[in-house]
Amino acid sequence: MGPQDYNQSVFINCPFDEKYKSLFRAIIFAVYDSGFVARCALEEDDGSQVRVQKIYDMISRCRLGIHDLSRVQIDRASRLPRFNMPLELGAFLGAKYFGVDEQKNKACLILDSMEFRYQKFISDIAGQDIRAHGNDIGRAIGIVRNWLRTYSRTSIPSGSVILSRYARFRKKLPAMCGDLNLNTTELIYNDFVLLVTEWLREDYEAS
Amino acid sequence: MGTQEKKRSSKKPAGTTTKGSKTKGYRTIKSPPKRGTVSVAAVRRAVRKVLRESGEERRPGTR
């Protein structure tokens, strides 16, 4: 892995459930449209590797990280919150603090649904870059784009441009999937990302 | 020599690639790190077909 790969890789620490899917896909799209590479646990399909080890390896390969804590909430059945996202955020911050060389350059964006909600369950992260997306796709895209702009050496489109491109991509997605004999609702992560990158390249060259 | 030869600059003009073609000083779309269940060529064909059908395909000779 070259330094360029490390600097342009963004670790995505988000929920993978159905309710979050629209936000998740919008964030992935924004990362690629900003010229970065999204890295996420869903891209690995190696059952022989321990899940947490897989995540640590991925964190070590990414300079940047987007951590969404908006789904840290009480589960109706278990009456307990899900804590995978804060755990992975802790691993990322630990790598920055205790790591050596390029690991020290790590930077992260923390997302939540509401401003200051995090103070009620993880107040120690105060002082980090924390933004509220309000479960809104447009706002999430804008936040991700503006944050990534700080780490980009080239010009990247505005949040509203990425949002309108994403809307056009979503409109075309069923037709593209139909042509590939894929079902939009069953689309696996790696296929979704491939569709995003190829569509962005063609769309960019056509414009 | 009577005339002084103009010194060539090794520096490329801003906004050009190594091939000399103009760029927009813009980000490039990176490839995903892992392979999916469909080939890149098949996805490219599907994307182009959909863009062609909606009249948004790339103009010929612009690449």
pLDDT tens, position by position, A51-74: 888 899 999 999 999 999 998 888
**Distance in angstroms (rounded) separating the CA atoms of residues A128 and A110:** 7
**Distance in angstroms (rounded) separating the CA atoms of residues A111 and A131:** 5
Mean predicted confidence (pLDDT) in A66-83: 89
Instruction: With CB atoms and an 8 Å threshold, state whether B27 touches A35.
Output: yes
Mean predicted confidence (pLDDT) in A117-145: 91
**Residues 31-50 of chain B whose Cβ lies under 8 A from any Cβ of chain A:** 31-38, 40, 42-50
Q: Is A205 on the interface with B (CB under 8 A)?
A: yes
pTM: 0.86
Residue B2 has a pLDDT of 47
pLDDT digits (tens, 9 = 90+) for A179-196: 999 999 899 999 999 999
Where is pLDDT greater, at A48 or A199? A199
**Structure tokens that stand for B5 in this block:** 């030869």
**Distance in angstroms (rounded) separating the CA atoms of residues A11 and A45:** 17
Q: Is B51 on the interface with A (CB under 8 A)?
A: yes
Q: Is A102 on the interface with B (CB under 8 A)?
A: no
Residue B21 has a pLDDT of 42
Chain A residues near residue B57 by CB distance under 8 angstroms: 202, 206
Average pLDDT value over all residues in chain A:
92
Given a cut of 70, whether residue A83 has pLDDT beyond it is yes
Q: Is B12 on the interface with A (CB under 8 A)?
A: no
pLDDT digits (tens, 9 = 90+) for B4-63: 545 554 454 444 444 444 455 678 899 998 888 999 999 999 999 999 988 876 655 554
Residue A1 has a pLDDT of 60
- Residue B10 β-bridge partners: none
Q: Show the CA angle centred on residue A133, arms to residues A127 and A136, nearest 5°.
A: 175
Mean predicted confidence (pLDDT) in A12-30: 94
Q: Which of A20, A166, A147 is nearest to A82 (CA)?
A: A20
Residue B19 has a pLDDT of 43
